[in-house]
Amino acid sequence: MTASPVRNSTAALQAADARHHLHPFTDHAGLAAKGARVVTRAEGVRLWDSEGKSLLDGMSGLWCVNVGYGRADLAEVAKRQLLELPYYNTFFQTTHPPVVALSEKLASIAPAGMDLVTFAGSGSEANDSIAKLVRYFWNLQGKPRKKTIISRNYAYHGVTMQAASLSGLTAMHPQFDLPLPGVVHVEAPYWYAHGGDLSPDEFGLKAARAVERKILELGPETVGAFIGEPIQGAGGVIIPPATYWPEIMRICRQYDVLVIADEVICGFGRTGNWFGSQTFGIQPDFMTMAKGLTSGYIPMAGIMMGGRVAETFRSAGEEIVHGFTYSGHPVAAAVAVRNIEIMEEESLVAKAGGEIGAYFQDQLRGLADHRLVGEVRGVGMIAAIELVEHKPSRAFFDPKRNVGTQCRNHCFANGLVMRACRDVMVLAPPLSISKTEIDELVGLAAQCIELTARDLGR
């Protein structure tokens, strides 16, 4: 059956969408008044909407399309797998070739010692699973009181009950009576906003020691794990000072607290290594993986484990009563393997950590002189531009002025997807972006920041 052209008009799609579709993270009164943006296709680093307008996607969708759009290879692998074995589960001592291949592949690229993986459907599910596995680990160790998880302000770990509780973006809690008990938050290593007169390195130590103070306050015998994104993404691309993660590692080892690195954004090349843990000197006990695992072509997440955690589960001597229908889905696993191979064949991780990442960061640093820009920061293929009211004092705009949203709207109107987290403009383009496309991206970003400054009368 072919849909009629009228049925597919932008207005008809918007009307049906507003009537029947509850969107994530959307104000529906606003959406109904304006109509959703209808995205219809994509290729490389570009999207097209239903009116034929093209947009340079500076965000890789939601930080996930690491190999770029339009990879026929990934579609072919999925088609082949759909025909050969579209579904089978990995429960009850069963496996299939794609999930074996993916597990082996992940063990080969993960930080040293991490060699055991289990699968989920999303980053939220994966973090939820890790919270259960932390409990199980300490139960197996005979330390059933070691259960509290320490997280941080500005953290984003997903939206399930547990993952939203772990998240530290305060807007995520009141609508749902969260956080759940057993989760506490401490300050983030956000030097630009909270560093005051300290140097970044001094502040990195101070922020890490907030974790130590919390462990001592709660009692080390009650703290099971610390969770952190190597770079806090949705919180505003908060890059920790160099002193932060080594001090976190010292503290967590000293008090026998497990370290969970949420690599949902940083994983699969974003920071110039396969994992953010490698960039920042983190030796995690658990790693959360999603997004770049399949470049977003199909949903899949993974939980990577190593060392004593892996050994404890391998030798538990009983059934682990946990797992999803779609854990290790064969089509998703086949796509993930091919996605990782593409990254290897095209040296996308090396480029993000080398020439392309350096070019992206250098070009963006040119925006730091703009009168509205307080700081440009980034690593590899992830970056943030802080829009501020007063540069010397690092003073932010009143949040009610929605300066970041204004800038984001200029971006959409001018052909660029750049996201606003508060008044921090964030970028995470596909790792496959070319230098010419980076020039275009940075030019558009500069133009939209200037338009925002003029709106503000500055």
- Taking the C-alpha atoms of residue 455 and residue 413, their distance in angstroms, rounded to an integer, is 15
Q: Which is nearer to ligand PMP, 127 or 273 (CB)?
A: 127
**What contacts 24+ positions apart, CB below 8 Å, involve 49-57?**
49/10, 50/8, 50/9, 50/10, 50/13, 51/10, 53/415, 54/415, 55/412, 55/415, 55/416, 55/417, 56/415, 56/416, 56/417, 56/429, 56/437, 56/440, 56/441, 56/444, 57/417, 57/429, 57/430
378 pairs with which residues across the strands?
Answer: 383
Under the binding rule (CB under 6 A), the answer on residue 234 touching ligand PMP is yes
Q: Does 158 bind ligand PMP (CB under 6 A)?
A: yes
Exactly one of 98, 111, 123, 306 binds ligand PMP (CB under 6 A); that residue is 123
Bridge partners of 259, per DSSP, are: 226
* Binding of ligand PMP by 262 (CB under 6 A): yes
Taking the complex as a whole, the smallest distance from the CB of residue 403 to ligand PMP amounts, in Å, to: 23
- Is 58 among the residues that bind ligand PMP (CB under 6 A)? no
Among 229, 247, 386, 423, binds ligand PMP (CB under 6 A): 229
* Nearest approach, Cβ of residue 234 and ligand PMP (Å): 5
Question: In this complex, which beta carbon is closest to ligand PMP, that of residue 111 or of residue 121?
Answer: 121
Among residues 146, 157, 370, 419, the one that binds ligand PMP under rule CB under 6 A: 157
Which segment (79-87, 108-116, 121-129, 236-244) binds ligand PMP by CB under 6 A? 121-129
Binders of ligand PMP: how many residues, by CB under 6 A? 15
Give yes or no for a contact between 70 and 44, defined as CB atoms under 8 angstroms apart. yes
Q: How far, in Å, CA of 333 to CA of 100, rounded?
A: 9
Residue 135 CB, nearest approach to ligand PMP (Å): 19
**CA nearest to 389, candidates 373, 376, 400, 377:** 373
Which pairs count as long-range contacts for 437-440, CB under 8 Å and 24+ apart, including other chains?
Answer: 437/44, 437/45, 437/56, 438/356, 438/359, 438/360, 438/363, 439/363, 440/56
Considering the complex, what minimum distance in angstroms separates the CB of residue 278 from ligand PMP? 16
CA dihedral of residues 277, 373, 432, 301 (deg, nearest 10): 40
Peptide bond before 392: cis, by omega within 30 degrees of 0? no
Q: Which member of 137, 138, 154, 156 binds ligand PMP (CB under 6 A)?
A: 156
Q: Is 329 in the site for ligand PMP (CB under 6 A)?
A: no
Asked if 239 touches ligand PMP (CB under 6 A), the answer is no
Q: Is 129 one of the binding residues for ligand PMP (CB under 6 A)?
A: no
Alpha-carbon span 332 to 179, nearest angstrom: 31
Q: With respect to ligand PMP, which residue has the nearer C-beta, 248 or 290?
A: 290
**Is residue 270 within the footprint of ligand PMP (CB under 6 A)?**
no
- Is 148:223 a contact under the CB 8 Å cutoff? yes
- Single-letter amino acid code for the residue at 379: V
Q: Near ligand PMP by CB under 6 A, which window of 14-22, 215-223, 262-270, 368-376?
A: 262-270
Answer yes or no: are the C-beta atoms of 449 and 367 closer than 8 Å: yes
CB of 290 to ligand PMP, least distance (A): 5
Task: Give the nearest distance from C-beta 405 to ligand PMP in angstroms.
Answer: 19
Indicate the residue among 266 and 337 with the shorter CB distance to ligand PMP. Answer: 266
Using CB under 6 A as the criterion, which residues of the chain lie in contact with ligand PMP when the complex forms? 62, 122-124, 127, 156-158, 229, 233-234, 262, 264-265, 290
